[in-house]
Structure 1
Amino acid sequence: MQKKIAVIGSGFSGISAAAYAAREGNEVYVFEKNDAIGGRARQMITPNGYLFDMGPSWYWMPDIIEQFFKDFGYRTTDFFELVPLDPQFKMVFSDETIAIPRSYDSLKALFETMEKGAGTRLDAFMRSARHKYDVGMRELVTRPCYSWLEFATPAVIKSAFKLNLLSDFRSYVARYFTHPKLKALMEFPVIFLGASPKNIPALYSLMNYGGYVLGTWYPQGGFHELVRAMKTVAESKGAIFKTNSNVEKIITMKGKVTGLIVNGEYIEFDFVIGSSDYQHTESLLDAPLRNYAEQFWKKKTFAPSCLIYYLGFRERIPGLEHHTLFFENNLDDHIDAIYKEKKWPEHPLFYACCPSKTDPGVAPKGHENLFLLMPLATGIDDDEPTRERYLQLMIKRLERFTGATDLLLKADYKKSYCVSNFASDYNAYEGNAYGLANTLSQTAVWKPSIKNKHLDNLFYTGQLTVPGPGVPPSIISGKIVATEVNKIKMPSL
């Protein structure tokens, strides 16, 4: 019997859940509070012709994203062109800049020039990382994680020792490389997981394989092309998307959700999937019906928030690649400011994304589209003068690196986005940008449950539950939850 399903939020997990739920013939509605779909992956088009991806910009693990489309009989090429980036990115240190080539053989050669024997050790590292990737992305992250028994499969048991679940990532990298810059290059990918490499399980070396070996890509037209494509797939199966639709309350009766209050109107549903930030979804329930009290969230380790500046310039900026990481300062000092001290960093690292180097359509002719991102602690004050001070700092470093001058005088677009914006636009707990950190104590069964413990027909998806933060994990999260909802049989009338 057909189910009537509501999905709250239209980020990657919400669109994914809607597509997989609608594929089974269910009546699916996606409610988005903002005026455009995509959640953190919204797109902003300015009056003077700039097109900004507001969130994700690293297209990694292309095979996982491709699998979503294959599940519905499509390919990504049916919707957009994927461009391989070469170099994949540049990493700027205080005394030199290292470009990461697309070719793995070239990457090996680069490692060898920096440390004798490092090319051979990179092979060994990546063989192990590929094994973790194959097991991790096909066996571990696809589980609903109700119980550890879900992982008692031959493939997982056979691979348990090789997965390095109890080793920390920093120590693991140090087994292979001694050069500090090589260590930085290998540690960089796990920063996306929202914690220090000291606190991330070595299992996540799979990120190195998913990035450096499978490559860094860009969907021509912007990352939002992926959002549009997934929405088209979901709509082809019958899902209906409603923007400017704020879910104000989850209505319950006798252990079940009966419906939602949306923009003041009550609408009945058989099932509800919360793709909005988990803690916010819970706030729509009466307190006794929530899985977790406020104290639970206060004790959790959240991935960072960030300061973002969307900038348009009237001239091209020399020397920049599509992705450039500014690592002239100490990584651990910045991480301590985020996790230990909860303050603005004194000597920050930051990231510059310049998609107009690859895609002329994202800026007017002869102009440059640039977004600067600096990771920050969640829950801190982010007034405009403080934002501006850090913009000045980043711009000075950018000018020093590129040789450009007076960049802000040449800017014809400037917009900041920070902690309080994440909180207001996405109902993000303490303004988090990336969900919960993937520390060992917040992995798998130890993540917030995908199912409400008090209500049989309320489920949760997204980066605060399994499998975790990032675009491919969020897509997988939507599939996991839709599969669980699809399994449940409706009572006969």
Structure 2
Amino acid sequence: MSKTGQKKAIVIGAGAGGIATAARLAKSGFAVTVLEKNSFTGGRCSLIHHDGYRFDQGPSLLLLPKLFREAFYDLDTTLENFELSTDLARMKDQIERWEGKDGFERYLAWLREAHQHYELSVSDVLHKNFTSWWDLANPSFVWTGLKLHPLHTIWNRASLYFWTERLRRVFTFATMYMGMSPFDAPATYSLLQYTELAEGIWYPRGGFHTVLAALARVAERLGVEFRLNTAVAEVLTTADGRTANGVRLASGERLEADVVVVNADLVYAYSNLFPQTEATKEFAASLRERAGSCSSVSFYWSLDRQVPELQTHNIFLADDFRESFDDIFTKQSLPVEPTASTPRPRPAGRDAVIALVPTGHLLKSKGHPKSAPTENGMLRDQDWPALVARARSAVLATVEARTGCAPLAGMIQHEIVNDPFTWEDKFNLDKGSILGLSHSFFNVLKFRPSTRAVGLANAYFVGASTHPGTGVPIVLAGAKITAEQILADRGLRPGWKTHPDQLVDLGVPQNRGTKMLDRVRRPLFWPAVLVAFFVAWFGLAAYYWTPLVGFRR
């Protein structure tokens, strides 16, 4: 029971964004209930268990740790402290091995640009909501936007700094974390490679889900109620169909709410959860036509021994690099030579190997007949059993050839497979796109679906396909944006603030005192420019102007 007069919020979905938004709203005084169709929290960031083996179902690596820290700090708690470090000397040796003596200097120049992409993206994109077109046209943001190189592809930009094909591949592959090809992804996303180098790649002990499980416990301490195995059938509205006021569960139960936050896949929600008015149907159809991220065939292998030749995390790039991305993003299929990623959690004396093979998404949304041809004559359901079998053979052969390990096939005691249909059915991901809508130029900022639902008051979105975008740390930043928007729409203040003693941990510059030596001072650039402009203007005027004849010819 909520206190008399206390606002009620329902959050549909217990993924990263749903959990974080629920906790923030609860801290700000809402009575919050989270409804989750599955028997677990975390969404794609959940665990698969089998006979003592544990697998990360989705992401396994923790990147952009500042955004994780921020989520916990705002809720008056912390992540475990740890020290970041990188080996620049080793990097210098590796770069010069392939790029020559001047290669390291070019690497540092690339690192400087990627650092700028990272810092500007965090300050001017991930912590801001784009609710109007003026937010894009604002001169200050236009200037910032130019520095982010959004009209360059990450591949073309990297080619300016790295002159060997090998290193161009190494420093652009991270766009797959967002389900995009490096030949299409904006250069802004060099920030992904940068954060790996500057802040490190982290593997949470116990699996990635432990981070979200900790966040869920924080939410529960703040009063959030989690109801698992509770599917939502539809979002309820007032009689005029313009305002959300609750939900109807698949069981038929109705729950009232002042606010409904949707953490389910946005494309799915507009097509299946919202009232199907003409406007909603039209918008849902337009969403289904937008570019989606890739899907994957993921193998979860329980081995009967350890494989010392495998590292904790391994990436095997296809030799036909560009062709493999064309197969995924143009043909929506499996490359002839797939790229594979193999995180490797370790049970005692044995290995649990996850092999993720990026592939194209399904060609039609759920609900379309599987035999219906698409516009280009292909079927929604390609021969996925054959593609999965080919992916398995390719991964086994590649791992053995490139590591020199013994044949893996004979070590596999048990196998679980997630293909595009699995991602679609288990998590309601439109077409099985594992990272939601693409991050192409016209799918970000104000072009990306808004956190405030279209045509339905009191309904909001958080998650991969809404602003600011996909990936767990980005979604956590989005949860703050969504929560603050909900509160601002009701004239309420957030229940959190960044405390001064947290600024160093969050990487925020601070003024540490009032003494002259402690103050942060930047060069007075713009005043100098204005002075130079007026001096030049008056000088030219004095030369060309005379009182008798006006301007000289």
Pairwise same-fold verdict (TM > 0.5) = yes
**1:385 Cα shift?**
4.6
User: Matched residues in 1 for 2:386 and 2:111: separation?
Assistant: 44
Which residues of 2 match residues 204-283 of structure 1 at below 5 A? 204-253=189-238, 254=240, 255-262=242-249, 263-282=251-270, 283=272
Q: CA RMSD in A?
A: 2.1
1:395 Cα offset (Å): 1.0
The answer to whether the aligner puts 1:309 opposite 2:270 as a matched pair is no
Q: Which of residues 122, 127, 152 is equivalent to 1:167?
A: 152
Do structure 1's residue 6 and structure 2's residue 7 form an aligned pair?
Answer: no
Alignment partner of 1:367 is 2:350: yes
1:202 aligns with 2:187: yes
Equivalent pair of 2:62/2:202 in contact (CA under 8 Å): yes
Q: Is the 8 A contact 2:135 2:141 kept in 1?
A: no
1:101-136 CA deviation, whole Å, 9 max, x = no partner? x42332233112211212111111111211221111
Deviation at 1:439, TM superposition (A): 0.8
Q: Tell me what 1:360 maps to.
A: none
**Runs (4+) off by over 6 Å:** 81-84, 152-155
Q: 1:82 to 1:232 in 2, by over 3 A?
A: farther
State the AA in 2 paired with 1:404.
C
The unaligned stretches of length 5 or more in structure 1 are 87-101, 357-362
Partner residue in 1 for 2:395: 394
Alignment deviations for residues 5-24 of structure 1 (CA, whole Å, 9 cap, x no partner): 01111111111111111110
Cα contact 1:45–1:52 (8 A) shared by 2 = yes
Greater RCO (CA < 8 Å, at least 6 residues apart) = 1
- Distance (Å, rounded) in 2 between the aligned partners of 1:161 and 1:259: 43
Aligned-partner Cα distance in 2 for 1:6–1:126 = 43
**8 A contact 2:267–2:288 mirrored in 1:** no
CA shift, 1:465, in A, is 1.0
Aligned residues between the structures:
464
The CA distance in 2 between the partners of 1:287 and 1:33, in whole Å, is 22
- Percent identical pairs in the alignment equals 26
Greater strand fraction, Structure 1 or Structure 2: 1
Matches within 5 A, 1:330-341: 330-341=320-331
Q: Quote the Cα distance in structure 2 between the aligned partners of 1:403 and 1:156.
A: 51
Q: Does structure 2 retain, via aligned residues, the 8 Å contact 1:290–1:452?
A: no
Alignment of 1:48-197 (within 5 A): 48-77=51-80, 102-116=86-100, 117-150=102-135, 156=141, 159-197=144-182
Q: 2:274 aligns with which of 285, 307, 331?
A: 285
Q: Which residue of 2 aligns with 1:89?
A: none
Partner AA of 2:25 in structure 1: A
Contact 2:396 2:407 in 1 (8 A): no
Return 5+ residue gaps in structure 2 as ranges: 363-380, 493-553
Matched residue SS, 2:341: strand
Do the aligned residues in 2 keep the contact of 1:422 with 1:432 (CA within 8 Å)?
yes
Match of 2:476 in 1: 475
Instruction: Report the CA distance between 1:170 and its aligned residue.
Output: 1.4
Rounded to whole Å, the distance in 2 between the matches of 1:223 and 1:82 is 16
> Are the aligned partners of 1:28 and 1:238 in contact in 2 as well (CA < 8 Å)?
yes
Contact kept? 2:26, 2:224, Cα under 8 Å: yes
Cα pair 2:47 2:54 within 8 Å, conserved: yes
When residues 122 and 490 of structure 1 are mapped into structure 2, their CA distance, relative to the original with a 3 A threshold, is closer
Task: Return the offset for 1:143.
Answer: 2.1
In 2, Cα distance between equivalents of 1:398 and 1:321: 11
Q: What TM-score results when the alignment is normalised by the length of structure 2? A: 0.80
Distance change >3 Å, CA 76–CA 151, structure 1 → 2: farther
Name the CA shift for 1:62/1:104 in 2 (closer, same or farther; >3 Å).
Answer: farther
TM-score, normalising length: structure 1: 0.89
Cα distance in 2 for partners of 1:397, 1:181 equals 18
| Cα separation, 2, equivalents of 1:153 and 1:226 | 37
- Per-residue displacement from partner, 1:328-357 (whole Å, max 9, x unpaired)? 42221111112211222212111111122x
Q: Are the counterparts in 2 of residues 311 and 370 from structure 1 also a CA contact under 8 Å?
A: yes
Among candidates 321, 331, 342, match of residue 311 of structure 2? 321
